[in-house]
Amino acid sequence: MARSRRGRFFGIFSSLRPSLLSVSQDLDQDTCPSLYGMPMEIVEIIANFLQYKSLCSLRLTCRLLYERTLRCFGAFLATVPLDFSSHSLQRLQAISNHRYLNRYVQCLSIMNQTHGKLGIDLRWDRSSSGCLIVPQDIVDILSDVLALLVNCRSFEVHHIYRQEHQYTSNFLGGSDAIKILLYIIAETAFPVKSLMLERGVARGWRYGDHIHGERLDIPALHKLGVRAGLSQLQSLTLNYHKELESSIDWTCELIRAATSLTILTARLNEFDNAPLLFDRLTLANVLPPLKELVLESCEFSSLEGFIAFLHYFRSSLRTLSLTRIRLSTNGWISILPRLRDLFPSLTSIKLHHLRGDKRPDTLISFPDIHKHKTSFEIRQGISYYYKNWRGKRSLVGVRYSGPDMETALRIVVSSARAC
């Protein structure tokens, strides 16, 4: 079955040739530069300093250098871009069929930096409602390709094109890419270690681009293959904007399936429904014992809701990063002294641009933090962030990593002020 799919693939794209992976048969050792006689370790050191094009030129000088620089060349394939065009699909298949290079691919990054549309030179079958139909031939071919990329366990979906309701059979959008991934995982129980759903920026668009939440299929997350594949998910990054309103339930189910999740990054761009997402996650009791939590541009419904959310990670959290988080001013003053008790195992913390009351708009600053006498270990592990706020330069962020978290937090708390 897999062989017939690959045959159809090359029939569709017969005009394309995998020239990047071919090696001239006419090259011999007589054409090699002086590097030919050097030890392999020296050749690898030199190759590590070369840019992609220079490394390719070196590899084509002779077969010996081609073989000795394979590992260095493979490093450029750690993350492979895919825009679902015929060219990118054929390139990915050529890599997957290479008996040495296929093991170097670790991450598939789905995006089109030029205009945001995916799969623009292929035809994609859709239902009458506009949803992508799976399976279809190209999706099955991609499934076969991923099976050969034995170390590819990370996926990124960077969505740029904003008018997802206009999607036709001529191209794909962000939710379509997610649907394809989930279908492949459902059919193969493909293990996923890292997943990033990231909104993109192109042609000056910044606030209108989003993944269409209504097209994210919740029942797909309940399939046994998806549950098995996502049960190994360790890192999840959610960079949402408008799509949050229509994808809260889907996001909760995604996190519920990620039973081994240790790193969660959520950038919600201060969307109004962000408090609802955190409340839903807390009440649903689906949060895994995270080791690292990164929150940016989020708002919580209340101080109590914030504490209830954080309480799930009390015994496991090692790293906490809070940036542009909205809470009442009194709420920040109240919760900062409790962070050490909340997270006794914390070894790294970042507090930056903490937002207080909306009217008047306030920030939490740390103006007197430099006045505290600190040990060398504290000074080595601490860094600061500044911002021009209301006409003056203010210290609005602190980051610390080190063994003496209790002392560092005591200094931070005693310096916190509303400005």
Confidence band of 391 (pLDDT split at 50, 70, 90)? confident
pLDDT of residue 236: 97
Per the structure, the count of domains in the chain is: 1
Residue 213 has pLDDT above 80, yes or no: no
How confident is the model over 1-56, as pLDDT tens digits? 444 544 444 343 333 333 333 433 333 444 455 566 667 677 777 777 777 777 77
Query: Has residue 404 been placed in a domain?
Result: yes
Residue 356 lies in a domain: yes
> Which domain covers residue 407, as residue numbers?
309-419
SS3 at position 409: helix
Rounded to two decimals, the pTM is 0.83
Q: Which residues 6+ apart lie within 8 Å of 212 measured at CB?
A: 164, 165, 173, 174, 175, 243, 246
Mean pLDDT lowest for which of 3-17, 203-217, 335-349?
A: 3-17
User: Residue 167 has what pLDDT?
Assistant: 60
Confidence of residue 86 (pLDDT cuts 50, 70, 90): very high
332 within domain boundaries: yes
Whether residue 280 lies inside any domain: the answer is no
**Per-position DSSP letters for 11-80, written without gaps between them:** HHTTT---GGG---TT--GGG--GGGGS-HHHHHHHHHTS-HHHHHHHHTS-HHHHHHTHHHHHHTTSEE
Among 252, 176, 184, CA closest to 216: 176
Residue 362 falls inside a structural domain = yes
Residue 292 maps to a domain: no
The strand pairing partners of 349, in sequence order, are 320, 400
For the chain, the first-to-last Cα distance in angstroms comes to 66
Q: Residues of 164-195 as b/e, b for ≥16 C-beta within 10 angstroms? A: beebeeebbbbbbbbbbbbbbbbbebbebbbb
Distance CA 50, CA 300 (A): 48
Would you say residue 385 lies in a domain? yes
Q: Is residue 394 part of a domain?
A: yes
365, 346 contact by CB (below 8 A): no
Lowest mean pLDDT among 180-184, 222-226, 249-253, 371-375: 371-375
Helix (H) or strand (E) holding 372: none
Dist. CA 397–CA 399, nearest whole Å: 7
Grouping H, G, I as helix, E, B as strand and the rest as coil, residue 276 is helix
Is 182 within 8 Å of 221 (Cβ atoms)?
yes
| 377 or 246, which is more confident | 377
* Cis geometry, peptide bond prior to residue 33 (ω within 30 degrees of 0): no
What is the spatial distance between Cα 141 and Cα 84, in angstroms, rounded to a whole number? 12
